[in-house]
Amino acid sequence: MLRTSTADKKPMVRKPEHVDIKPQRMGFEFDEQVPRYWLDNSPFLSHMMNALSVLFPQGEQYFVDSVRYFRDQIEDPDLKKEVAGFIGQEAMHSLEHIAMNQHVRDQDMPVEELEHHLRLLLDGFGKRLPKRHQLAVTCALEHMTAMMADMLLERDDVREDMHETMRPLWVWHAIEETEHKAVTYDVFQQVGGTYLERSFYQILSTALLGVMTTYFTTRMMWNDKRNLSLKDVGKGMWRMWGKGGVFSSLIPTWLDYFKPGFHPWQHDNSELIARFKREINEHIAPQYRNGNRRTLQ
């Protein structure tokens, strides 16, 4: 199926029709059953993923705001519906990661301080950009979350290294990131976004995400310095960036974004959604089994 962009009149690949973008509150709970080092029993890897979680609530609110600004300019009724689903899903992600972040805070991690620093970056820089440039930032970061989601669903070794109390949150998040991976890109194309804009902000957003994640991880490691181990850090870095590493293996997918004719659904990984959806639905808390449509404000 093709959608025609009003920005360039070129045919665009579109979301497979069998993929639905529907928000679902899960109601995950994080208690004493969650080990402190829940990813491969590694302080470094666990703090790194905790750091990403701290980024999500404010980051996803930024995504929602950047898309919502252009919602009235969208002419395609299908895309309008997808935008509504995207906003709802990002709202659910925010709520679930707020719960996880409270668990991290309870471990004496400086979550409030890190959230304050992220707010300074977003208020002092991110929200001061022209509106379409904010949308370009969102497209870039959505590409990165989508490729990490694809990696998580593809790689059994990564999922299996997550403790069973944490795995459902990240698998569920990965499923929904895959479902809506093209929404912001399609909006960007429809409102006249350019190749130069999306390429520039892909580079800038990657750099900023790397800096913030590294800083957040370092702060958590320092706060937990009694368990700081150079061996653990070195092993974790190799796991992420070594040959066949979790992040290094994503470089070709990251580079795909710079292809002039790129579209997120050129890589149709919708079979992964079907593979994991039924399994993850078993983790919905009883009070949310009929759905929850609360959205970010």
Residues 6+ apart with CB under 8 A from 159: 152, 153, 167, 170, 171
What span, in angstroms and rounded, lies between the C-alpha atoms of 146 and 143?
5
Q: So what's the pLDDT on residue 2? A: 34
Q: So what's the pLDDT on residue 293? A: 47
Model pTM greater than 0.85?
yes
CA angle 265, 25, 190 (to 5 degrees): 35
Q: So what's the pLDDT on residue 13? A: 83
Helix (H, G, I), strand (E, B) or coil at 75: coil
Which of 60, 61, 67 is closest to 82 using CA atoms?
67
- Amino acid, res. 99: A
Residue numbers of the chain with a pLDDT score lower than 50? 1-11, 293-297
In degrees and rounded to multiples of 5, residue 162 shows phi and psi of -85, 135
State the residue for tokens 């990661």: 97
What span, in angstroms and rounded, lies between the C-alpha atoms of 242 and 230?
16
State the residue for tokens 């404000």: 297
Q: So what's the pLDDT on residue 68? A: 97
DSSP H helices, the chain, are 43-68, 77-105, 111-124, 131-154, 156-160, 167-179, 183-190, 195-223, 230-241, 251-256, 270-281
CATH of region 39-285? 1.10.620
- Distance in angstroms between the alpha carbons of the first and the last residue of the chain: 33
Q: Is residue 5 a contact partner of residue 128, using CB atoms and an 8 Å limit?
A: no
The sign of the CA dihedral 114, 116, 117, 122 is positive
The total number of residues shown for the chain amounts to: 297
Q: Is residue 101 a contact partner of residue 35, using CB atoms and an 8 Å limit?
A: no
Residues 6+ apart with CB under 8 A from 5: 12, 186, 189, 190
What the block records as the tokens of 100 is: 């996880």
